[in-house]
Structure 1
Amino acid sequence: MSKFNNIFRIVLPGLILLSCNTSKPGNTNTNPKPIEFRIGVESTKEAKEFYSWTSDRIPLVSAHRGGPYPGFPENAIETFQNVIEHTPSIIEFDVALSKDSVLVLMHDNTLERTTNGSGKVIDLAFEEIRKLKLLDNDRKETDFQVPTLEEALIWGKGKVLFTVDIKREVPFEMVVDAIKKYQAEAYAAVITYSVDAAKKVHSLHPELMLSVTIRNEEELKRFEESGIPVEQWIAFTGTSERSPEFNAKLHEMGVFTILGVLGNLDKSAVARGDQIYVDFVKNGADILATDRPIEAAEAIKSLIPEKSSKSKFFGNKVEIR
């Protein structure tokens, strides 16, 4: 049986026992039908509760650019689906803007790397972008198309938590308006890279959760002085591991931490073994933002508490086999 079987033991009363997931990353032909590992947060109040740090918190992975694997390209809804058939996950994705002002999921300013098209995203109308096929990370063409932000928000309700990375040319107002339109405030946090950006998004929607960059005491002080309530922070602590003491200080404030293991730290896990993901969590990382969400989730499953106040947000009763 696959090493990726049923990554979390999450037991909720009254739910039916589901069968094991025997699928592997990139395998679309699964029998029986794969399990969906869902996270259901239904209000901004619940979002604040979910992200409020407690000692019984459930460590999670965040799938960088949606969690691409062979056959599953980045920033595709089919890729999101593949990830949640292996583990509960936060899904991070990127939002760009077409020539005719349609919000689409795309990381790059240009189309060459991730599609069979070419040119700048902003120079093409959505109808032209929609005709393209997405490429996976091995540059193999898939049958998948570029999704819109609206399609992602509709798909994600009751399934995942999103962190939304807004590209430079995209007005914050457009993304926040889409989140409002689809009532996605509970499950769509917005990523910001500066205090000013965080204050701007907060002014547009004071109830939104914000991913904010806090890598040191100076950045922490800036956010403490920002006027943004601490219960709406999710602290991205960078792509290098912070000290346990710094993580503990954020925890004392009730703040979840996200460690970006994508890039060098993921490469270290490949070279040295996935145990390092366990060490990151033990040292105070609550969420691992990774290009290897399935492997990282498998590694940290041993750290999930038998009982947790957060369990009510997870929508499966699953036994690890």
Structure 2
Amino acid sequence: MQKQLTTTLIAGLLLTTAVAFGQQNSPFSRLIKQLHNPNDKNIMVAAHRGDWRDAPENSLLAYQYAIDMGVDVIEIDLNMTSDNVVVVMHDQTIDRTTNGKGRPADYTLEELKKIRLKNALGRVTNHTIPTLREVMLLAKGKVLVNLDKSYDYYNEAYKVLKETGTLNQAIFKTETTYREVRKRYPTLLDSIVFMPVVSLDKPEAKAVINEYQKQIKPVAFELIFKKDSSAVLSHNGFINKNGSKIWINSLWASLNGGHDDDTAVDEHNINDSWDWIIAHGATMIQTDRPREMLAYLRKLHRHQ
């Protein structure tokens, strides 16, 4: 009897160890490790508003399509209903993207759910405005989530992330300085994955980066620039050296000095677009062309 009990205990221990090992080596676990490794040379791809070419922007279907194609990050924009539910909506009004009018704050969640999203051609669909909770449950254990336009809703978003068990895969961000963020969110800042957005067109850009890295070592810095002549772009090795990754957007030209998605895809000039961004230190790229970028990076063996 004792021998049988011992055998059962050993078998249980081996099973537990195997499960733990599997979790530690799962694709999502490797993604989390990659996020926190500033020296990893693989490129992480972020889908801007999901796959909005094939589904309404910021819809659950757009995010599902992006997840299915293998992106590492989905970008969402936060807003709030009149009954204090965090929803996903880029604009301050719902006029452009839905068949409704006004602000999300003009509606309760129940009222907002009766409104329908439009697709990229402006046609009304059957898709509704998702809540942050719905998106995080969809993304749970699959992809990272870039919380754009979230600064005013950090506390509410944090609560949702804790309740859904997704805090480790959400990236909070803001364009404000370290001192401003610390003043507004004195304790929360130490409990979240954080990425400052820094305009390299401003003369104080390097000082802003240095202050953040001195105080909290953010997981990454989102660098935006209308001109590509900033000294930080040419000498940005200190960002990785001090523990952070570099995020550059390949969206419209005003965010990247003209080294954008359209140059890569429409003009077939990857050298002056995606290659340029990678050559300037980015290992996280947010794109409106996730399918094409993934195919290119996999050809280069720069995407896991």
TM-score by length of 1: 0.74
Q: How big is the shift at 1:254?
A: 2.8
| AA aligned opposite 2:28 | G
Partner of 1:135: 118
Q: How big is the shift at 1:219?
A: 2.6
Which one of 203, 226, 231 corresponds to residue 187 of structure 2? 203
Which one of 233, 249, 252 corresponds to residue 260 of structure 1? 249
The runs of at least 4 aligned residues of structure 1 exceeding 6 Å deviation read: none
Confirm or deny that 1:50 pairs with 2:35: yes
Which one of 159, 165, 185 corresponds to residue 177 of structure 1? 159
Q: Deviations over 1:16-38 (max 9, x none)?
A: xxxxxxxxxxxxxxxxxxxxxx9
| AA aligned opposite 2:85 | V
Q: Deviations over 1:46-87 (max 9, x none)?
A: 847633211x431021111223113x0111121111012222
Q: How big is the shift at 1:202?
A: 6.3
Confirm or deny that 1:287 pairs with 2:284: yes
Partner of 2:44: 60
Partner of 2:11: none
- Give the 3 Å change call, closer, same or farther, for CA 206–48 of structure 1 in structure 2: farther
Which one of 77, 86, 99 corresponds to residue 60 of structure 2? 77
Q: How big is the shift at 1:125?
A: 1.1
Partner of 2:275: 278
Q: How big is the shift at 1:245?
A: 2.9
| AA aligned opposite 1:93 | I
Q: How big is the shift at 1:253?
A: 1.9
Q: Distance in 1 between matches of 2:189 and 2:145?
A: 16
- Give the 3 Å change call, closer, same or farther, for CA 225–106 of structure 1 in structure 2: same
Partner SS state of residue 186, structure 1: helix
Unpaired runs of 5+ residues, structure 2, are: 1-20, 254-259
Q: Distance in 2 between matches of 1:128 and 1:64?
A: 27
Equivalences for residues 5-154 of structure 1 within 5 A: 40-41=28-29, 47=32, 50-54=35-39, 56-70=40-54, 72-154=55-137
Partner SS state of residue 156, structure 2: helix
Deviates more, 1:242-251 or 1:120-129: 242-251
Aligned residues: 265
Work out the percentage of aligned pairs sharing the same amino acid: 24
Partner of 2:299: 302
| AA aligned opposite 2:216 | P
Give yes or no for contact 2:45–2:72 (8 Å, CA) kept in 1. yes
Give yes or no for contact 2:49–2:62 (8 Å, CA) kept in 1. no
Q: Distance in 2 between matches of 1:253 and 1:303?
A: 27
Confirm or deny that 1:237 pairs with 2:223: yes
TM-score by length of 2: 0.77
Q: Distance in 1 between matches of 2:33 and 2:176?
A: 21
Give yes or no for contact 1:277–1:300 (8 Å, CA) kept in 2. no
Q: How big is the shift at 1:271?
A: 3.6
Q: How big is the shift at 1:123?
A: 0.7
- Give the 3 Å change call, closer, same or farther, for CA 122–39 of structure 1 in structure 2: farther
Q: Distance in 2 between matches of 1:153 and 1:263?
A: 27
Partner SS state of residue 141, structure 2: coil
Confirm or deny that 1:158 pairs with 2:141: yes
Q: Distance in 1 between matches of 2:166 and 2:222?
A: 21
- Give the 3 Å change call, closer, same or farther, for CA 165–239 of structure 1 in structure 2: same
Q: How big is the shift at 1:305?
A: 5.0
* Greater Rg by CA: 2
| AA aligned opposite 2:138 | W
- Give the 3 Å change call, closer, same or farther, for CA 300–201 of structure 1 in structure 2: farther
| AA aligned opposite 1:171 | Y
Partner SS state of residue 138, structure 2: helix
Q: Distance in 2 between matches of 1:222 and 1:282?
A: 23
